[in-house]
Chain A
Amino acid sequence: AQKVTQAQTEISVVEKEDVTLDCVYETRDTTYYLFWYKQPPSGELVFLIRRNSFDEQNEISGRYSWNFQKSTSSFNFTITASQVVDSAVYFCALSTSGTYKYIFGTGTRLKVLA
């Protein structure tokens, strides 16, 4: 079975704090892709990053970084020096070869307080 678990339902931090959003996935496929999306209050899911199962390099983009670890089936997302504009719901998703579907986690609501 394929599954994505985002155990943190809601996180609140004070501005400038670092925060990590957890994502744990399950799949038996050896080729798969992991995604993170941001959903601000406006509603639209905005694509943030895609990672394939053969690339375990961590990635950094400005204040955002992602830690992909196959050994623990995790693809965690860290925001450094959080800002109020980071307040949103963040979704992790899994896609495997041979299927058109994304499997989404239930999302983590991040609130960054000024």
Chain B
Amino acid sequence: DVKVTQSSRYLVKRTGEKVFLECVQDMDHENMFWYRQDPGLGLRLIYFSYDVKMKEKGDIPEGYSVSREKKERFSLILESASTNQTSMYLCASRVAGVAKNIQYFGAGTRLSVL
């Protein structure tokens, strides 16, 4: 079974803090994704990494950066957390390439910025 693990289920941070959200997958997938989920808005793509050290901005990258130094790990960084970044963050991975490939998700990190 594919396993995507997000390091924290819940996080509470202060405005202005630097926040790291970590995601690890164990299936040697090339592609990894970070989404944010908000009520009524569904899932919105923040960043996508198609391989180690490779990344592309998604639909809402402002205020975020990412790091992919190893194939299995994809980190989402909030350089200076703000209250409007309070949300559920979901990581996903999949085999590289075509549109049919299934994305597998982690359990999510619920981040509160106070």
Contact = CB atoms under 8 A, between A and B. Distances in A.
Given A45-B105, A100-B31, A100-B50, A52 B100 contact: yes
Contacts of B31: 100
Contacts of A64: none
B43 A50 contact: no
Contact of A44 (B44, B48, B58, B108): B108
Contacts of A102: 43, 45, 103
A87 interface: no
Interface of A: 9, 31-33, 35, 37, 42-47, 50, 52, 91, 95-102, 104-107
Interface residues of B, number: 26
B98 A97 contact: yes
Contacts, number: 56
B9 A43 contact: yes
B99 A106 contact: no
Is chain A's binding surface mostly helix, strand, loop or mixed? Answer: loop
Interface string B40-64: 1111110010100000101000000
Nearest to B101: A95
Interface string B6-21: 0001000000000000
Contact of B100 (A95, A101, A105, A106): A95
B113 interface: no
